[in-house]
Structure 1
């Protein structure tokens, strides 16, 4: 019998693309049963585009468009053209407009470098240090029009050490971002997670707290 086609992932990037690389590596290793069908960037010089074959990359200078809506509309058309099952924001630094989100709602994921709902937006590591937090981390959530406010699927934590700088803390968080994103992507492509209003369903059952990434890189139930 012919094999079923692999689930299709489109990835949105703005920078160096280390989270994109984590997805690529997991697919290559056979631990993520999916296919990356397009990588899209708002920056012509995004280093992430070098991590995939030229035919998979799409980039435009978002600042050259007359409006945010105009850029988002062209981006949405380009993403839709590759018929993705999931769209993953992996270091994508522009706010997605309501029309874009509506077009891909329920299959649009973002990884964010904080333990949401703390520190939406930018400067998350510096803000965690300014607040004297003892732990910090990363979250993967469904995207809604409000910035970094979608329901959180899973999180990974790291300790905050005395004497940490924002760069030091950022590097520590990045080490857990990669396995966290891959673990959530595994659930997504297996059809195990879904957005249901303000709730995440895992295997058809509501998650009341985000999953947590353990030291073995496995997602386990979170605690309140």
Structure 2
């Protein structure tokens, strides 16, 4: 499947269509081999891969809804069509969410416009209600990278650069975790997505990952104390 971007005519008079490709989860290869699991039979991955195909290869048009990951999916009966929530990187063979802010400027604008058109057509979709933080691998790895940077260069709020300080001053009071150390860490390393639901989840992930690191450090200290104690006791016996 593809998204028609342009129609041209070749020198021999045949029509060619420049298409931007969609991938079914089982068609998109992973970097380490295999394919992705589908969460819904309607699911497609968007991509920025373009290619030319003959116009006669087009069979029919279809409807595709671009829905942010934190929004509830529209019902099949009321809004038939395919669903896109992730973007497939054909070079790196990895997935990105529509709500990620790591795209190039032109691609980011394209994604934002497609999401906006979907929401205008479907209306304001309700958020997914959950008490648990997102546990997907991408968010977990991002949280670990942030904590690793923090351990290398300890965060000192009084010495934050001017940009981070101004960004924090303009935060709305109701922003989840806006006064917490973990939220300041996200601001420090430019990890704020602007998605309230996801930012709250990232704060909770940072708390959980830090707890695991702290627990591991405590265990190592206990083992070290135990080793020292055994050494002292053995020394006393030798005397």
Pick the structure with greater CA Rg: 2
Higher helix share: 2
TM-score normalized by structure 1?
Answer: 0.27
Higher strand share: 1
TM-score normalized by structure 2?
Answer: 0.25
